[in-house]
Amino acid sequence: QVQLVQSGSELKQPGASVKVSCKASGYTFTDYGLNWVRQAPGQGLEWLGWINANTGIPTYAQGFAGRFVLSLDTSVTTTYLQISSLQAEDTAVYFCVRDWGVLVPTYFDYWGQGTLVTVSS
C-alpha cells in the first residue's frame, strides 16, 4: 500500500535551518509528483510547492522560493523540504503529499502524517 512517512517533530531557534524528510513506498516513485503543504496554528492549508519526481524539477509557490528548497533522492524514494533562516511564522505542521499530476499538480491522493516544526527561542 502507498505510504508517505515523514521525519519527526523539530524544535528550532530563529535563524536556524531544518530539513524534513518524506519516505515514499508502495508505488513507482518517479511516476508521481510530490507536494509540500503546511498548516500554521489556527490557519488553513497552504501549498508550498511541488517536485516532479521524474525530472527532479521543483516549482515553488509565490513567496517560498529562496528560503524553501525541495529536493529528492530517487535511490531511497525520499523527498526533502529544507527551510533556512527560520522565523516564528514558519511554525506549522508540514505535510508531504503525493499527486497525480505530470506537468502540474492535479489532486492529492496520499498524505504523510505531518511534521511539526516549531520555531522558538
Partner 1 sequence: QTVLTQPPSVSAAPRQKVTISCSGSSFNIGNNFVSWYQHLPGTAPKLLIYDNNKRPSGIPDRFSGSKSGTSATLGITGLQTGDEADYYCGTWDSSLGAWVFGGGTKLTVL
Site of interaction with partner 1 (CB under 8 A): 35, 37, 44-47, 50, 59, 61-62, 95, 101, 104-109, 111-114
- Please give the sequence-ordered ranges of beta strands (E in DSSP) within 1-44, or none if there are none: 3-6, 10-12, 18-25, 33-39
Asked if residues 82 and 17 have their Cβ atoms less than 8 Å apart, the reply is: yes
Cβ at position 62, least distance to partner 1 in Å? 6
Taken in order 121, 46, 36, 57, the sign of the CA dihedral is: negative
Whichever of 3 and 30 has its CB closer to partner 1, that residue is: 3
Whichever of 13 and 107 has its CB closer to partner 1, that residue is: 107
Interatomic CA distance for residues 109 and 38, integer angstroms: 16
Cβ at position 43, least distance to partner 1 in Å? 9
Whichever of 73 and 109 has its CB closer to partner 1, that residue is: 109
Which amino acid appears at position 28 of this protein? T
The grid coordinates of residue 64 equal 517560498
Asked if residues 53 and 33 have their Cβ atoms less than 8 Å apart, the reply is: yes
Whichever of 38 and 80 has its CB closer to partner 1, that residue is: 38
Cβ at position 14, least distance to partner 1 in Å? 26
Cβ at position 111, least distance to partner 1 in Å? 4
